[in-house]
Amino acid sequence: MNEIEIRLSNTNLTRLSKYLNYEIAGSALFLISFFAGFLIFFLIAAAIVFTPFMIYVLHQENKNGWIVFFFILIVIPFILSTILHFSVTFFFPGHLIVLALFYLYCFLLRIEVNNWMRERRSKLQYIMEKQRRENETEVFMSQFKD
């Protein structure tokens, strides 16, 4: 593990990237598909547990546009589907639509977080390269000072 990876390993953005890039094997998804109720419960629980951390990291990174997009894409439809669910007597799959929107948001965020990580890695690499050049210049110039 090089120095850039060490500097990036303890950041919340790195943890968010790791969580967003987590994949489940296709065979596991196939087996879970037989237990749709359990799968939906697990997806809802994961969304509820993951959302505060995701909002915290976005706030910490000052990505206010993504927070506003979250409220527009998930919170407002959730409130509307809850209101419609109580006013309509037949089955209304509004919460499942909101759940699908949440995971669409996570997919889009995953792409962008990977870009942020790439930018941060490049910036750290540039800073380290600049420090290395300055140190080499200092050593070279110290040879001629006597």
Q: Token digits for 20? A: 């967003």
**Range 126-136 average pLDDT:** 91
Query: What pLDDT was estimated at residue 30?
Result: 83
Question: 124 vs 51, which has greater pLDDT?
Answer: 51
Query: Count of H helices and E strands in the chain?
Result: 7, 0
* 116: nearest Cα among 3, 11, 27, 1: 11
* 132, pLDDT greater than 70: yes
pLDDT given for residue 41 in this prediction: 87
High-pLDDT (> 70) share of the chain, % = 88
What is the tens place of the pLDDT at every residue in 15-69? 888 888 888 788 887 888 788 888 888 889 999 999 999 999 999 999 999 999 9
Burial 72-100 (b: 16+ CB within 10 A, else e): ebbeebbeebeeeeeeeeeeeebeeebbe
Q: Comparing 5 with 12, which gets the higher pLDDT?
A: 12
- pLDDT(3) > 80: no
Residue 131 to residue 3: CA distance in whole angstroms = 13
